[in-house]
Amino acid sequence: MPKYAIDETIYIPVNGDSQNIHIRSASLDNPVLLFVHGGPGVCDRSWVMPEQSKYLADRFIMVCWDQRMAGKSYRHANISNRMTLDQQVEDMHDVVLYLVNRFHQDKIYIVGHSWGSVLSCLYLPKYPENIKAYVGMGQFINGALNEKISYDFVVDYAREHNDKKALKDLASIGAPVDGMYKGGLDALMVQRNYMTKFGGGSWKEKESSFKSILVPFLTSGEYSVIPDLYRYYKGTFFCLAELWPQVVRLKFDETVRKLNVPVYLFQGDHDQNTPTPLAKEWFDNLEAPYKEYVPFHESAHSPIKEEPELWGKTLIEKLLG
C-alpha cells in the first residue's frame, strides 16, 4: 500500500496568479494544517515536509504553500508587478478557501512562521471564520522595536566576544532607524547573518543565514537545482524588496489586540530575529477565545527546525489532544 493517501505538488489559481502547494497526508479525513512560510520569500517546505511528515502526516493533511513570487511560485514575467500586504492577505484567503472546499472542511489549522506570522495576523482579523486555530512561531510584533533589539543583540555579542570584524561591519551599516537600515536590504542581510551566527537565529547550531537555508534546500528533495534554485534566490530578494518596507512599519502591539480564534505561540527562548520578549508581552495582552504560550528552551527563531520531534509531538498534543 502507498505510504500516503495523498502526496502531490500542484499549481492552483490564487488571486489572479498561479501558486504552488505540496499536500501530504496518510488520510483524506485528517484535518488540514497549512504552513504559512517566512521571509518574505523564504519557503519552508525544505524543512517541514522531510522532518515533520513522520509526526504529522498521520494526523493532518499537511500543506506547504510557496507564496506569490516565492520558491516554485516565482515568475520572472511578474517582476514588474508591485506587491502589497493587502494582496498577500487575499492570496492567503484564496488558498484557505481552496483547501476548505477541496477537503470538505469548514475550518483548517494554520502555522505562521516569522513573516508568516505577520501575514497570519493580518489575515485573521479579516477572515477568522475558516480557521480552527492559529499557531505562531517566530512571532513578529513591532518592526521598529524588533530591529532595534536585534541589532543591539549582535553588537553586544560582538563586544563581549571581541569580534572586531563583526563590530566593524555592524558599525558600517549603523543602527536601524524606524526599523530600516541606511544600507537597505544589503545592510539587513549583514545584521541577519551575524544574528544567526551568534545564536539568535538558530541556537544549537550557530550558522550563517545562507547555510541554514541552502543545505535543507539541496537535501530535502522538495526542489530541483534547476530551475528551482534560481527561482528561490530571485524570489527571496524580490519579495523582501517589495514587502519588507511595509512590514517594518507594522505595530501589532497597537493594532492586533484581539483574535477571534484559539492562539498557540510556539516560541524559541533564544529568538533574536523576532525577539521573544516582544512576542511574550504581546501574547500576554492578547484577547482570544483560548490562548497558550508554549516555550521551546533549546531553540531560537525556528523551533520546528531546531527541536523537530518535540515540535511535531507538541503540535499534535495541543491541537488534537
Mean pLDDT of 235-247: 94
Mean pLDDT, the chain, whole residue set: 94
In a shared domain, residues 102 and 153: no
Pair (61, 154) in one structural domain: no
Q: Which three cell numbers stand for residue 246?
A: 511595509
Residues 50-103 pLDDT 10s: 999 999 999 999 999 999 999 999 998 888 899 999 999 999 999 999 999 999
Q: Tell me, yes or no, whether 69 lies in a domain.
A: yes
Query: Do 149 and 296 have their domain in common?
Result: no
207, part of any domain? no
Residues 149, 76, single domain; the answer is: no
Write out the residue range of the structural domain in which residue 170 sits: 145-197
What's the structural domain count of the chain?
A: 2
Span 293-319, pLDDT tens digits: 999 999 999 999 999 999 999 999 999
Handedness of CA 177, 68, 192, 198 (dihedral sign): positive
Claim to verify: residue 37 and residue 157 sit in the same structural domain: no
- Give the helix ranges, DSSP H, for 174-260: 184-197, 209-219, 230-247, 252-255
Q: Are residues 167 and 221 in the same domain?
A: no
**Arithmetic mean of pLDDT, 272-293:** 98
> Among 133, 168, 197, which residue terminates a domain?
197
Listed in sequence order, the residues at least 6 apart from 271 whose beta carbon sits closer than 8 Å to its beta carbon are 138, 200, 279, 299, 300, 301
117 and 263 housed in the same domain: yes
Cis peptide before 125 (omega within 30 of 0): no
Same domain, 138 and 182: no
| Number of Cβ within a 10 Å radius of residue 208 | 15
Same domain, 43 and 85: yes
The whole-model pTM stands at 0.94
> Residue 1: pLDDT above 60?
no
> Does residue 250 lie within any of the structural domains?
yes
